[in-house]
Structure formats: C-alpha cells, structure tokens
C-alpha cells in the first residue's frame, strides 16, 4: 500500500470556499506540485450550508423553484463544472471531495466511480442497510430494481482532466430530505431519495460514519489515508 491520500475534514464550509480550495489543489496536482513524491491525492470531507449545484450536463428545468425562493430558505445555487445534473447539499450530509491522480491508481474514470460507490455500499453494510447500484445511473441506491420503492442515498458527480479528479459524492446521513422537494434530484422525476436517519429511524453519529467510510475508501483504493 504505497499510495497515500492526505485527508482533511473541513467541518462546515461555504460551498464556494470549498470549491475554491478544490480548484487550488486540483491545479497544483495538474502542475505536478504535490507535498511529497509519494502523494497520490487528497481526500476532503465537508458539510455545506443549504446549496443546490447543477452540473454542466444538467437542465435548469430540474430546479423547480426560483432563486428568490431558495434565498428565503437560506439556500444558494451554483452552476458548476462537474458531470451530472442537479443535486442538493446541506447540514447532516457528508460530502466527499477526492482529488486523485487516477494514473497512480491505475484506474479509468468508470472504475474510479465504481469504487466510490463500493466504499459507500460497504459503509452502509455496517448498519445493515443493503445498498447497490442502478444500471445506467451513477450513485448508491436502495431497492433500485423497484421503481416505486427505489431511492438514492448517495449522489456522485465528478470532473476529471488529465487523470486528475475533483468534486465527488454527497452521502445522506442526517439530511433534511424536504430540501429535495424543490428539485428533480439528479434529473429523476420517478425515484426517491433517502438518508441513513430515515432508514434507521434515528439520527446517526456523523463522526462514526466518517471513520467507517475513510476505512472503506482506504481499502477499495488500496491507499493509506493520512490525517
């Protein structure tokens, strides 16, 4: 295990500020300026205040309210440079931004996304939540084959350039799901969203989930995560 990921928990941070930090690290890695030669990337965990982000391939029509209404709810809205459609970030949701050099891992983009999904699926197993994938849709789902019951618990949207990644995943732990009522999440109009809190019937310890997820990310990417 000679691949090292430098980890930082940003706590609660404004979306724009976190995006700027990602871009700074991304550009450093693109230029080959890393802290040490053995560094294969960074892993950032963060919670955001209420915010909606629309990927470059998304449709504005999937935002179902206007920005004045969002402001009345204390939410902001950004067009961003990741793939995917619209999603929500907010308190109680664990957002992860892996900024990795995929060449160091010997991975293509599809395999990279698969491993992100796998880390979340394995984390949920610790809580006896059976999650899996929905064919043709990125992310982690519960009951994906039953359209009436299927619900997403983790959204994934990434950007990659010259094998360097940014953006990442949004994992619903204790998320206020009412905020999804104002969008078609990830462009879907016929499938739901959920959280660990909703599935288990009680609020979860976010730090415990973080620790488990870090371990699973370390294992699926065969990497050492350094604080």
Per residue of the chain (227 residues), what is the pLDDT tens digit? 578 999 999 999 999 999 999 999 999 888 876 555 456 899 999 999 999 999 887 888 999 999 899 999 999 999 998 878 889 999 999 999 999 999 989 999 999 999 999 999 999 999 999 999 999 889 999 999 888 899 999 999 999 998 999 999 999 999 999 999 998 877 776 788 999 999 999 999 999 999 999 999 999 999 999 98
To the question of domain 3-226 being in CATH 3.30.930.10, the answer is yes
Burial 179-209 (b: 16+ CB within 10 A, else e): bbebbbbbbbeebbbbbbbbbeeeebebeeb
Give backbone dihedrals phi and psi of 150, rounded to 5 degrees, phi first: -65, 140
Interatomic CA distance for residues 16 and 167, integer angstroms: 12
Where are the chain's structural domains?
3-226
Q: What is the H or E stretch that residue 96 is in?
A: strand 93-100
Q: Taking the C-alpha atoms of 23, 24, 29 and 30 in order, what is their torsion angle to the nearest 10 degrees?
A: 60
Q: What is the model's pTM?
A: 0.94
Q: What are phi and psi of 146, to 5 degrees?
A: -105, 100
Q: Which residues are catalytic?
A: 186
């Amino acid at each position: 295990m000679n691949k090292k990921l430098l980890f930082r928990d940003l706590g609660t941070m404004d979306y724009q500020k976190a995006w700027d930090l990602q871009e700074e690290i991304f550009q450093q890695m693109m230029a080959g300026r890393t802290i040490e030669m053995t560094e294969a990337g960074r892993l950032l965990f963060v919670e955001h205040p209420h915010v909606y982000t629309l990927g470059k391939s998304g449709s504005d029509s999937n935002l179902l309210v206007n920005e004045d209404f969002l402001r009345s709810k204390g939410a902001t809205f950004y067009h961003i440079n990741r793939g995917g459609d619209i999603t929500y970030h907010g308190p109680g949701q664990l957002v992860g931004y892996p900024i990795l050099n995929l060449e160091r891992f010997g991975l293509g983009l599809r395999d990279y996304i698969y491993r992100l999904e796998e880390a979340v699926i394995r984390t949920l197993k610790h809580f006896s939540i059976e999650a899996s994938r929905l064919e043709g849709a990125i992310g982690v789902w519960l009951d994906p084959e039953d359209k009436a019951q299927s619900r997403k618990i983790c959204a994934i949207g990434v950007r990659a350039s010259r094998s360097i990644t940014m953006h990442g995943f949004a994992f619903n732990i204790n998320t206020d799901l009412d905020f999804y009522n104002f969008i078609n999440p990830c462009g879907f109009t016929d499938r739901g969203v959920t959280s660990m809190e909703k599935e288990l019937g009680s609020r979860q310890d976010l730090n415990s989930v973080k620790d488990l997820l870090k371990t699973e990310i370390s294992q699926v990417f065969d990497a050492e995560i350094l604080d």
